[in-house]
Amino acid sequence: MQDAIKVSVATSLSAPLLFSSTKAKADGKEILTPAVSALQFSQIALPYAFNALEPNIDAMTMEIHYSKHHTAYIKNVNDAITAENLSFTSEQDFFNHASKLSAKAKNNGGGAWNHNFFWQVMKPNGGGVPSGKIGEAITGAFGSFDKFKEEFAKAATGRFGSGWAWLVNDGGKLKIGSTANQDNPLMDNSELKGTPLLGIDVWEHAYYLKYQNKRADYVTSWWNVVNWDEVAKRLA
C-alpha cells in the first residue's frame, strides 16, 4: 500500500531495533544501546490551500482540522511511542498490533494516519464519475456508481457518533464499511479489513461549523471534492 505517513526507520526492517557498537554500562556490565529510534509519525503538507475546497468544505474548518486536530494527533502518538518505548518500524506494523496498544497510542496513531490519508483523497474541483480501472471496479462491485454512492453515504451517515466511512480493497474485493473514532481498516482489531482506497471523516469537527448537525448534507457536498485520481492510484 502507499504510505500516507512518512516514517523514520532503520535501514534494515528485519528487527525492531538495530544496535550500534557504542557501549554503555549498567550494573558494571557493558550493554549495547539502540542506534535508531522506532517509528515516528509526521504530518504531510496540506496539498492545497485551506480555502481550496470551498464551498464544499469551508476554510475555517480546514484550518482548524489540519492545524489543530491533526497536529495534536501527530504529537500525541509520538509522545506515546516515546513514553511507552514502542519499537514498531512501520505504520503497518503499528496497526498490526493495534489491539495491544494503549488507548493513547492507538487512537492518536489512527488519527495521524487517517487524516494524512483524508487530505490526499480530496482535491479542488474533484468529484464526478470515476473512469478507467477504478470506475470499472466500483461498477463491478456495486452494480453502478450511483449504487456505490448510496451505500457509501449510508455507511457515513449511519455511523453512530464519531468515526469514518471507507471504501477498501480486501484481497481484490471492494467493500464499504465504517469504523468508530479513529480506528481504520488496517488495525488488527477492526471488523472492516482491507486496504483503504477512499475515506470520509464524519467526526463533527470535520463539518459542524458549516453544516451543524446536517451530516448528510456534508456527505453530499463532499462528493464534489473526491480525488478519484488518488483513489485509482491506491487501487493499482
C-alpha to C-alpha distance for 111 and 23, rounded to whole angstroms: 37
Per DSSP, 182 falls in state T
Condensed to tens digits (0 to 9), the pLDDT of residues 121-178 reads 999 999 999 999 999 999 999 999 999 999 999 999 999 999 999 999 999 999 999 9
Residue 236 binned pLDDT confidence (cut-offs 50, 70, 90):
confident
Question: Is residue 190 within 8 Å of residue 95, measured between CB atoms?
Answer: no
Q: Which of the residue ranges 32-36, 58-62, 181-185 would you say has the lowest mean pLDDT?
A: 32-36
Residue for grid cell 503497518: 92
Backbone φ, ψ for residue 208 (5° rounding): -70, -30
* Grid cell for residue 46: 496540506
Instruction: Provide mean pLDDT across the span 169-194.
Output: 97
The three-class DSSP label of residue 196 is strand
Domains of the chain, start order: 132-235 (3.55.40.20)
Largest CA distance in the chain: 70
Amino acid at 19: F
Residue 38 is predicted with a pLDDT of: 76
Instruction: Provide mean pLDDT across the span 181-185.
Output: 98
Question: Is residue 5 within 8 Å of residue 113, measured between CB atoms?
Answer: yes
Residue 37 is predicted with a pLDDT of: 52
According to DSSP, the β-strands at 173-180 and 163-170 are antiparallel
Comparing 17 with 216, which gets the higher pLDDT?
Answer: 216
C-alpha to C-alpha distance for 115 and 62, rounded to whole angstroms: 11
Work out the number of other CB atoms within 10 angstroms of the CB of residue 54: 15
The three-class DSSP label of residue 31 is strand
Instruction: Provide mean pLDDT across the span 187-194.
Output: 96
- pLDDT tops 60 at residue 24: no
Condensed to tens digits (0 to 9), the pLDDT of residues 2-12 reads 333 333 323 22
Question: Is residue 195 within 8 Å of residue 1, measured between CB atoms?
Answer: yes
Work out the number of other CB atoms within 10 angstroms of the CB of residue 162: 14
End-to-end CA distance of the chain: 9
Comparing 156 with 21, which gets the higher pLDDT?
Answer: 156
Condensed to tens digits (0 to 9), the pLDDT of residues 58-106 reads 999 999 999 999 999 999 999 999 999 999 999 999 999 999 999 999 9
Model's pTM, two decimal places? 0.84
Kindly give, in sequence order, each residue whose CB lies less than 8 Å from that of residue 128, ignoring residues fewer than 6 positions away.
Answer: 228
What is the crossing angle of helices 132-142 and 145-158, to 10°? 70
